[in-house]
Structures are given as C-alpha cells and as structure tokens.
Amino acid sequence: MNRGKYNVTSLFFYAGLFILLFSCQKQKRSYFESIALNDIKLSASPRPGSWRYNHDEHFQTFEDFQKLKKIKPEPGKNTIYLQPIGKFDELQEKEIALTKEYLKIYFQLETKILPVLPNTIFPDKVKRISEEGKEQILAGYVLDSILIKRKPKDAIVLMGITEKDLFPKPEWNYVFGLASYEDGVGVTSMYRFANGHLTDSKFNESLLRLIKISSHEIGHMFGISHCLNANCVMNGTNSLPETDSHLARACSLCQRKLNSSIHYNDRKRLLELKNFFEKQHLNTELTLANQDLNLAQ
C-alpha cells in the first residue's frame, strides 16, 4: 500500500465529512425561521376602510423593537391582572375566566382575576348615550382614574374588562380597547363582541374577539407596534370584520419580539396554545398551532 496516497485520501475524506456536517449545522433553522414558513403575508394593497389603508405606519423591525424603552417582567413584578368592571352574567364570567387562561398561556406569565368592581364606579360625567341609544363610558377615565390607582405592586400589566361600551373621545363612535403602554394598564370592552348580549351560539366568536383584543393591547404594552409583517394578532383594526379576519396567532417576527422580553419556552407555549384551541373548538387557530409545531420539530 502507498502510505502517502492513503494519507492524502484520508485527508480528503475527513475534510469532506467536516464540510458536510458544518453545512448541515449551518442550514438548521431557528424556531422563528421555521415558523415563519407559516406566516400569511399581507396583501400589497390594503382594502379601502381597513386600518392599513387609513394609517401610514412605520414597519417595526426587531432592531427597532430592541432599541425601545419598554416594560419587561422582573422579579416581584411579573403578573398580569384582569380587573372586571360591571355586572356580568354566567356566560360573561366564563369568557373572562377563559381569557385569563389564554393570556397566561400566550404570555407565559402568571395571570390573575381581581374582584369585580361595580358600574357605580363610573361617575355621570364620563358617561354618554351612543347613536344606538346605549350607555358608553369614557375609556381614558377607566385607565387614569380607576386602573392606575389600583394596579397591584407585583403587576406587570393590569387589564380592565368591562361589559359597557367604550368611547375614547367625543368625535369617536366607540373603541374596542385602549391602553397606556408606559403605565402598563389597559381596558377592553366585551360589549360589541356579541352585540351587547352574549349567548351560547355567539360564545366562541365573542371569546375569540376578546382574546385577540386583550393579547393585542398587552402586546403593545410590551413594546410591539402594529404588525406590518404578516396576518397577525398585532395588526391594526378598524372594525369587527377586520378583527375577525386577523389571526389570534402572533407572526414569527412578533413572537421573536415577545420572547426577547419574556424569555419563555417556545415549544411549551405552542403545545399549551394547541391544547387551549382544541378544548375550545377554535379550529383555525388549532390548525395553525399544529402547523407551527410540525415546522418547529
């Protein structure tokens, strides 16, 4: 045997093996790169009347997000609280309880429900009658005069939930939710999610709307701007039909932003979301969660 030839052949063999292994390692996708294959890109031309059509917003890159001053969970201040305000029936109480369960999974943070506050907490000066003849509450008052003063010391976020319709200022008809991002407080109204009257037949539709709006507003509190990357729970919305067209799923970019602040286990979160959607028969969301799980293998 020619020893010199054998050494050269071995050298080429091991060099080739090293390049192959390095190449495979290099091609391995990150979690966020993997689930990005499941993102549904937005149309280049937004529909007239939609949020994107009426608002010229800046695309928030991950680098933009990292530079922002924003609230983050920290030891002793890492719990999300829900503050129900109003008179709730049994179905509405069930919806709030499921929203608490969902937000705990979505943000991977402890989430608690505070004792209900009565509607008498709203003074007459912050009430008005809408064009439909229904009582509405000034959303800013809920933030500034109710929630900020009652925010628990260990709360990273305090989200009010009311069964009353909300308006943000006199010239606006209504608003689904409002938040003060720096203060970590927000409020969401259940009223329009079921036309003011929740029934068994409307329950899943109303629940899906509530978990979308709540996770959207809390997402803003954590520094995530309106999403222009894909169909995403962080898309801006002008109406219920537009809200319904948005997914409860955060796109890969928004998930990356959220994870960089909260540092949760992505696969654990996905499995818990899958189980929640399966249990509540939210089939579109369940399908997407399963697809994300398959991609993240």
Catalytic center residues: 217
- Residue 44 falls in which region: left (phi positive, over 0), alpha (psi -120 to 50) or beta: alpha
- Distance, in Å, from the CA atom of 225 to the CA atom of 222, rounded to the nearest integer, reads 9
Residue 178's SS3 state is strand
Residues in the chain: 297
- Distance, in Å, from the CA atom of 136 to the CA atom of 118, rounded to the nearest integer, reads 15
Q: Which of 161, 165, 160, 159 is nearest to 191 (CA)?
A: 165
Burial of residue 249, with CB atoms counted within 10 A of its CB: 0-12 exposed, 13-18 middle, 19 or more buried? buried
* Angle formed by the axes of helices 266-280 and 90-107, nearest 10°: 160
The shares of helix, strand and coil residues in the chain, as percent rounded to the nearest 5, are 50, 15, 35
Q: Tell me the backbone φ, ψ of residue 267, rounded to 5 degrees.
A: -70, -40
Query: Which residues, other chains included, contact 191 with Cβ-Cβ below 8 Å and sequence gap of 6+?
Result: 134, 162, 163, 164, 165, 166
Q: Tell me the backbone φ, ψ of residue 295, rounded to 5 degrees.
A: -70, -30
* 179 beta partners: 186
